[in-house]
């Protein structure tokens, strides 16, 4: 069936460095790709999303890239801060179905 | 922006009790809501899709008689864990979106602990 792979599962970076999380998806019908940040004990919060007709999107320190041919998409966080520490989930979505990746636990070391 | 409210945030109860969790969309009407279960350090597992005015659609392996879902209005869906047992202890999260293929907005989850 459809699935979303996400790497790495854990990531530690020094404050100020960049962090990159990569995802691949299997369902070629997927056309919407949101990224969520989940802090401990809370629900996931949407941080950025991209649609299949766009190759890149940026919002301040966060950017997402999409390679629809290769079925790859990535999250880039620049100038990381301790408050960026959380679990990040990528997702691939068709009209009504959303498949989440397994998550990446990001730790930003002060 | 859109907000989804989930209540209660934490519940502890005895084995055999039924527990109801509410999910509300605060500033938009949600014809579809989703219920997820999340185990520690794992991803979200979709349990069921809740459709306003009709029966919920359950994912394979989810017991519909154990997890009762009601979506009686465009702003409220409820999940009732019937005759809860320790193995039902988990983090339950709901989500909603205005229309298909739009961002899902998540509630803050309910930590359920069955003693």
Size of interface A-B (CB pairs under 8 A): 47
| pLDDT exceeds 90 at position A2 | no
What's the pLDDT at A43?
A: 93
- Overall average pLDDT of the B27-31 stretch: 86
For residue A102, which residues of chain B lie inside 8 Å, CB to CB?
A: 42-43
Q: Give yes or no for residue A52 having a pLDDT over 90.
A: no
A31 to B101: CB separation less than 8 angstroms, yes or no? yes
Q: What are the tokens at B32?
A: 């579809």
User: Is B94:B4 a contact under the CB 8 Å cutoff?
Assistant: yes
Test mutation, B37, B56, B103, chain A, max A CBs within 10 A:
B103
Identify whether the C-beta of residue A71 lies closer than 8 Å to the C-beta of residue B75. Answer: no
Residue range A42-63: mean pLDDT, rounded: 94
Chain A, nearest residue to B44 by Cα: A100
Q: Give yes or no for residue A39 having a pLDDT over 70.
A: yes
pLDDT at A85: 97
Q: What is the pLDDT of residues A94-110, one digit of tens each?
A: 876 889 999 999 999 99
- Residue A31, pLDDT > 80, answer yes
Q: Which of B4, B47, B101, B110 to mutate to test the interface with A (most CBs of A within 10 A)?
A: B101
Nearest-angstrom CA–CA distance, A3 and B114: 31
Q: Which of B3, B39, B43 to mutate to test the interface with A (most CBs of A within 10 A)?
A: B43
pLDDT score of A71 more than 70: yes
Instruction: Name the percent of chain A lying above pLDDT 90.
Output: 87
What pLDDT is attached to residue B2?
56
pLDDT tens string B31-86: 889 999 999 889 999 999 988 888 899 999 999 999 999 988 889 999 999 999 99
pLDDT at B53: 83
Comparison of pLDDT for B101 and A101, the residue scoring more? A101
Give the pLDDT of residue B11: 96
Predicted confidence (pLDDT) at residue A4 exceeds the cutoff of 90 = yes
The answer to whether the CB atoms of A89 and B42 lie below 8 A apart is: no
Taking an 8 Å cut-off on Cβ atoms, the answer to whether B44 and A31 are in contact is no
Cβ atoms of A106 and A88 within 8 Å: the answer is yes
- Residues 6 or more apart in contact with residue B91 via CB below 8 angstroms: B37, B38, B39, B40, B109, B110, B111, B112
Chain A residues touching residue B41 (CB < 8 angstroms): 103, 105
pLDDT number for residue B1: 57
């Amino acid at each position: 069936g459809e699935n979303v792979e996400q790497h790495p599962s854990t990531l530690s970076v020094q404050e100020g460095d960049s962090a990159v999380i990569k995802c691949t998806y299997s369902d070629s019908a997927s056309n919407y790709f949101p990224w969520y940040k989940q802090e401990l004990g809370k629900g996931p919060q949407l941080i950025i999303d991209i649609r299949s007709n766009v190759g890149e999107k940026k919002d301040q320190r966060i950017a997402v890239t999409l390679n629809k041919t290769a079925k790859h998409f990535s999250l880039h966080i620049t100038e990381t801060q301790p408050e960026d520490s959380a679990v990040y989930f990528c997702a691939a979505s068709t009209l009504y179905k959303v498949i989440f990746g397994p998550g990446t636990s990001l730790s930003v070391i002060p | 922006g859109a907000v989804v409210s989930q209540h209660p945030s934490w519940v502890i109860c005895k084995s055999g009790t039924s527990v109801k969790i509410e999910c509300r969309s605060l500033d938009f009407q949600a014809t579809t809501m989703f219920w997820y279960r999340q185990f520690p350090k794992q991803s979200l597992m979709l349990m069921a899709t809740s459709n306003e005015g009709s029966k919920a659609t359950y994912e394979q392996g989810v017991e519909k008689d154990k997890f009762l879902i009601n979506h009686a209005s465009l702003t409220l869906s409820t999940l009732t864990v019937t005759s809860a047992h320790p193995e039902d202890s988990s983090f339950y999260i709901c989500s909603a979106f205005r229309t298909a293929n739009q961002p899902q907005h998540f509630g803050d989850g309910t930590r359920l602990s069955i003693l």
